[in-house]
């Protein structure tokens, strides 16, 4: 530790703010004779460099003691003195962050358990199966990580691509992993009445019965199309 960092740590550390730490700190001005300049030695054997070394060693011991102090923990429903929650009392040494979680199985193991490799298929081939696509989603409709699916990186990217395509086609939902009946979303509301089917199926089923049920009689395009259907 350099001298400048040691002096800076002396004035900024939490232990240096305590009264007992200030009283025990060596003062260079009190040890140095007034007739001598910094860095010079006197006839009685006083050396400023030795005083600086003693200050640095004292700071090193103080820092080591601070790092050895355990982290202060608080018990629920326990009364504490206001001084116990001050910055100098609850200050704890820096602890390294824990290791990041495992992102997924290694490549050799993933190839042995990957269902797409075992069956020789691709994720894009299963986009019309909402139950199969929902198995890779959490209850909020988000794609599960490799730590949960156990797929290889290639299959994981393929599943993500297939899920996006199935969402755009309306086969699975954006917000849940449970597909609706038919896989086409909620009942279609047109003209204030709900169709019997769901999505495109309900639209076609209602259109066969005429344009009045659809509530779009004022639209020439729909009147022409539905007239041909009926």
pLDDT in tens, 156-203: 999 999 999 999 988 888 888 876 665 544 444 444 444 443 433 333
| Overall average pLDDT of the 25-40 stretch | 50
Place of tokens 């002396």: 10
On average, the pLDDT of the chain sits at 66
| Overall average pLDDT of the 126-146 stretch | 89
How many percent of the chain have pLDDT more than 90?
16
Query: What region does 48 belong to: left with phi over 0, alpha with psi -120 to 50, or beta?
Result: alpha
Burial (0-12, 13-18, 19+ Cβ within 10 Å), 135: middle
Residues of each domain in the chain carrying CATH 4.10.640.10:
107-182
| Overall average pLDDT of the 23-30 stretch | 49
Tell me the CA distances in angstroms from 8 to 11, 13, 55, 56, 59, one per residue in order.
Answer: 5, 8, 12, 11, 11
Least confident of 40-54, 153-167, 181-195, 213-227: 213-227
pLDDT digits (tens, 9 = 90+) for 66-96: 555 555 666 777 777 777 777 666 665 556 6
pTM of the model: 0.39
State the CATH architecture for 107-182. Irregular (4.10)
């Amino acid at each position: 530790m350099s001298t400048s960092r040691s002096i800076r740590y002396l004035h900024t550390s939490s232990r240096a703010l305590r009264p007992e730490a200030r009283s025990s700190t060596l003062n260079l001005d009190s040890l140095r004779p007034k007739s001598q300049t910094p860095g010079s030695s006197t006839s009685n054997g006083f050396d400023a460099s030795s005083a600086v070394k003693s200050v640095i060693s004292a700071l090193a011991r103080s820092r080591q003691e601070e790092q050895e102090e355990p982290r202060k923990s608080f018990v629920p429903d326990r009364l504490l003195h206001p001084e116990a929650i001050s910055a100098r009392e609850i200050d704890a040494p820096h602890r390294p962050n824990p290791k990041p979680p495992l992102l997924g199985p290694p490549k050799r193991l993933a190839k042995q358990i990957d269902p797409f490799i075992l069956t020789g298929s691709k994720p894009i081939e299963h986009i019309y199966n909402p139950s199969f696509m929902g198995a890779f989603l959490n209850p909020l409709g988000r794609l599960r990580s490799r730590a949960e699916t156990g797929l290889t990186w290639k299959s994981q990217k393929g599943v993500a691509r297939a899920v996006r395509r199935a969402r755009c086609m309306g086969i699975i939902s954006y917000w849940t992993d449970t597909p609706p009946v038919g896989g086409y979303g909620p009942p279609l509301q047109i003209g204030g009445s709900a169709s019997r089917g769901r999505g495109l199926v309900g639209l076609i089923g209602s259109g066969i019965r005429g344009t009045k049920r659809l509530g779009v009689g004022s639209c020439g395009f729909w009147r022409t199309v539905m007239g041909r259907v009926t």
